Structure 1
Amino acid sequence: MISIVIVDDHAVVRSGLTMLLDAVDDFEVVGEASEGDEAYQQVEEKHPRVVLMDLSMPHGKDGLSATSEIKKQFQDTQILILTMHDDEEYLFRAIELGASGCILKNAPHEELVKAIRQVASGDAYLYPSATKRLMEDYMDKIKNNGKADTYRLLTDREREVLALVAKGFSNKEIATKLVISVKTVEAHKAKVMEKLKLRTRPELVEYAWKRGLLGYSI
């Protein structure tokens, strides 16, 4: 029996996946989680063979961070990333952090079953177009002397916030420009600092400068 934990911030998605997978004879959904910390707790308690991990969970720890933490402590648990086309930029990082593969959220039911069985057996699984993307990211990393480009981990909104913070706009001004709350701006800024491994505003400004986000680069 292949035990599974489903991690997605949408209850409807979790419910639908649970219904589909529990109908497979050798599958058993043993837990659900809506964000990364809950996912870790579920793995710690249930010791599933496979975790279906959503990447984008804005109301808690994201899928990349959760994948890293789970694989450090529970190496026998295989993680299959649930992704949309727009999330392909995260693919290389997810594999680097220990994920066994990824599958599109709109993949046919039969393909999801195949992917789960494949990673549960210890093999990797990638949907076809992801293989090409993975190779492209690998080549980019080689060109950068082995250093991963962390900028690709940022969402479009996080990149907007990064650029505006670096240009000197206050949280309130950024909130007005992007039509979001100040609290949301602060959350995005914290995510940016975490993903880019920056600690201070000057470091953030320097990073944005080198990326050419201020209108010129060095």
Structure 2
Amino acid sequence: MNTTICIIDDHVIVRQGLKQLLEKISDYQVIHEFDNGDDFLDALPLHPNPDIYILDYSMPNKNGIQVLKELESRQEEYKVMLLTQHFGEDIIDLAYHHGARGFLHKNCSANELKFAIDNIKTVGYTNVVDILKRIKNFVPKPNKITEIPILSERELEFLTYVCDEREPTYDQIASYMNINIRSVELLRLALFERYNIKSKVGLVLFSYNFKLTRPFL
């Protein structure tokens, strides 16, 4: 099955070159293109919805972080990879805080690009180790939860695997926990709904903020 992609970048030559590269290196299909964040946001929800969004950081009117912030308020689930020449710590931290699944430099190789996209699609992010290092610098979002959340034994076990630096997929977590994938999905949805979490990165931040599981204990 093709991995479908949306590219948001204000340079036509970059979009065209990226599209040609993506469709050459794997079964990727670029199904949407936008040359600025405003047009992209105005078009939401996209039909069909792509598997991955590749978002440029430096664009007129709204930069990549501003687009991420608005996307976060409009769409529950999204997998965004930020493609940029800017790797300032503040940019990376803010992007992860607003749901980015990974970063790539515009000078990356085709193999690096493929590796990142495949990991975002299957695992949910490109490098959980980097996220775990960086979230210690995050300023937590305002949260109505004032007491340490009480989770069931199974929920804590699930959350521990989500935060595991081996980056297990949900299928692998089901295997580790000796339960079926549907049970894993129910655990995930229960935490999402109870604590207003929207992504795997959100689960990691949730565990970090309240020191619920390894490696944050």
- TM-score between both structures, scaled by the size of structure 1: 0.56
Structure number with greater Rg is 1
CA contact (8 A) 2:97 2:138 kept: no
CA contact (8 A) 2:52 2:78 kept: yes
TM-aligned CA distance change 1:2 to 1:95, over 3 Å: same
2:10 is matched with 9
Instruction: Give the SS at the match of 2:20.
Output: helix
CA contact (8 A) 1:55 1:63 kept: yes
Query: Which has the higher relative contact order, 1 or 2, with Cα contacts under 8 A spaced 6 or more apart?
Result: 2
RMSD: 2.7
Q: Does 1:38 align with 2:39?
A: yes
Structure 1 unpaired stretches of 5+? 148-218
1:92 is matched with 93
Instruction: Give the SS at the match of 2:46.
Output: helix
Q: Distance in 1 between matches of 2:11 and 2:22?
A: 17
Instruction: Give the SS at the match of 1:107.
Output: coil
CA contact (8 A) 2:9 2:36 kept: yes
CA contact (8 A) 1:53 1:79 kept: yes
Aligned residues: 140
C-alpha deviation, 1:95, in angstroms: 0.6
2:23 is matched with 22
Q: Distance in 2 between matches of 1:127 and 1:34?
A: 30
2:53 is matched with 51
Amino acid at match of 2:31: V
Alignment of 1:126-141 (within 5 A): 126=127, 131=130, 135=133, 138-141=135-138
CA contact (8 A) 1:82 1:102 kept: yes
TM-aligned CA distance change 1:25 to 1:140, over 3 Å: closer
- TM-score between both structures, scaled by the size of structure 2: 0.56
Amino acid at match of 1:56: S
CA contact (8 A) 2:93 2:137 kept: no
C-alpha deviation, 1:141, in angstroms: 4.4
Per-residue CA deviation, residues 69-104 of structure 1 (Å, 9 max, x unaligned), is 223333333100112244443001001101111111
Q: Distance in 1 between matches of 2:137 and 2:66?
A: 22
Amino acid at match of 2:85: M
Q: Distance in 2 between matches of 1:33 and 1:119?
A: 21
Alignment of 1:189-200 (within 5 A): none
C-alpha deviation, 1:3, in angstroms: 0.7
Q: Distance in 2 between matches of 1:98 and 1:107?
A: 22
Instruction: Give the SS at the match of 1:125.
Output: coil
Q: Distance in 1 between matches of 2:16 and 2:10?
A: 11
Q: Distance in 1 between matches of 2:72 and 2:16?
A: 25
C-alpha deviation, 1:40, in angstroms: 2.3
Q: Distance in 1 between matches of 2:43 and 2:118?
A: 20
C-alpha deviation, 1:35, in angstroms: 1.4
TM-aligned CA distance change 1:41 to 1:116, over 3 Å: farther
Amino acid at match of 1:55: Y
CA contact (8 A) 1:51 1:78 kept: yes
CA contact (8 A) 1:80 1:99 kept: yes
Q: Higher helix fraction: Structure 1 or Structure 2?
A: 1
Amino acid at match of 1:2: T
TM-aligned CA distance change 1:127 to 1:7, over 3 Å: farther
1:62 is matched with 63
2:171 is matched with none
